[in-house]
Amino acid sequence: MKWTPSLVEERLAEAASVLKRLPEPRRQGYFNVWPEILHSFADKVGQEPKPMRVIPSPAAISRMEETLSWTVGLDPIDGKIVWLRAYGERWKTICWTVGLQRSAAHEHWLYALCVIAWRLNRRKVPRLRSRRYVIEMVKGACEDPASHPN
């Protein structure tokens, strides 16, 4: 499988979704001795329904665990932007959080996706090159030459 920045983005979004759906951690040794309250129909009228929590599959959890290690070695700001974006945060919120303008935050995010894709394809990321050069290099390498009639 050849990794592209868009595939990396999809996988990170899936991992964030799985993390949101995991059950809450519980402390060991604590329990509740109160009986469960059974509500009648009249009690439930006007209440908001509880959101349905779908537990992720074991395969999805395994992919999520694999994906968690992808941001190790990235610049901390890049890693933060990648995970905030994977969780679906708006760019405005991301910019406030990391203290960058929209275009700079987007370039950090795109660079991080390209670095992850490059590493997953078992290639060495050039250290002494600009972010823009690495982004263009990865985009050029990920394009399928058969799709271009030239």
**Residue 126 in domain:** yes
> Is 123 inside a domain boundary?
yes
DSSP three-state, residue 24: coil
In a domain, 26, yes or no: no
C-alpha 103: how far from its chain's center?
Answer: 20
- Please state, in angstroms and rounded to a whole number, the distance separating the CA atoms of residues 78 and 14: 19
Structural domain of residue 109, as residue ranges? 5-20+56-145
Q: What's the pTM value of the predicted model, to 2 decimals?
A: 0.77
Enter the DSSP assignment of 91: H
- The pLDDT value recorded for residue 142 is 66
Give the pLDDT score at 144.
Answer: 54
Tens of pLDDT along the chain (150 residues)?
789 999 999 999 999 999 998 887 777 777 778 888 888 888 888 888 777 778 899 999 999 999 999 999 899 999 999 999 999 999 999 999 999 999 999 999 999 999 999 999 998 888 888 888 888 888 777 665 544 444
Cβ atoms of 53 and 24 within 8 Å: the answer is: no
* 12 falls within a domain: yes
Q: Which pLDDT value is given to residue 111?
A: 93
Number of domains, the chain: 1
Q: What is the DSSP string of 54-116?
A: PPPPHHHHHHHHHHHGGGTTS-HHHHHHHHHHHTT--HHHHHHHHT--HHHHHHHHHHHHHHH
Residue 32 resides in a domain? no
Is 64 a domain residue?
yes
Asked whether residue 34 is assigned to any structural domain, the reply reads no
Residue 66 lies in a domain: yes
Q: Are 121 and 113 a contacting pair, CB within 8 Å? A: no
CA angle 86, 1, 59 (to 5 degrees): 55
